Amino acid sequence: MALKNILIHPDPRLKKVADPVASVTDDLRRLADDMLETMYDAPGIGLAAPQVAVMNRMIVMDCEKDEDATPDPMVLINPRVLWTSEDRNVYDEGCLSIPEQYAEVERPAEVEVEWMDLTGKTRRERFDGLWATCVQHEIDHLDGRLFIDYLKPLRRQMITRKMQKLKREMARA
């Protein structure tokens, strides 16, 4: 396994729609392992392939935040939302591609998602709470959407300017 570099906003690849995965291969399984390692190392609870410059529709996530809890890593290939609840939740969201920036985002409280797992089997599950927020956030990445796209323009511009400054500082270092 290897840590991957996480793209930092603004990067044009983060605004592109990712391509569907045709089949599960050993390379894809290795990528999933690398993405999980990268996500845990960051640390984060979710990561989409476009965030590591791979334009495929694959996400990884693990929303078990309790230190005593057993990790529950998930790999979702070609995930799609089939149903959303009318009830809404607001979470203070962050993103590994927009480090140290957080904002409240309102999303459906529950979602039903269908995806392919690493064996090629189709799976379907209903998510709620933090899991629902995370899966929606990561699927947004596959569609070229960031959590800041839900914010008012002025706040979004402010965060983008901070990220541009961070990228300049990182380039100098």
Say how many CA atoms lie within 13 Å of 121 toward its Cβ.
Answer: 3
Q: Is the pLDDT of residue 154 over 80?
A: yes
User: How many percent of the chain have pLDDT more than 90?
Assistant: 94
Distances (CA, A) of 82 to 66, 76, 106: 29, 14, 18
Residue 57 and residue 79 in contact, taking contact as beta carbons nearer than 8 Å: yes
Catalytic residue numbers read: 138
74-125: pLDDT as tens digits:
999 999 999 999 999 999 999 999 999 999 999 999 999 999 999 999 999 9
DSSP state of 69: S
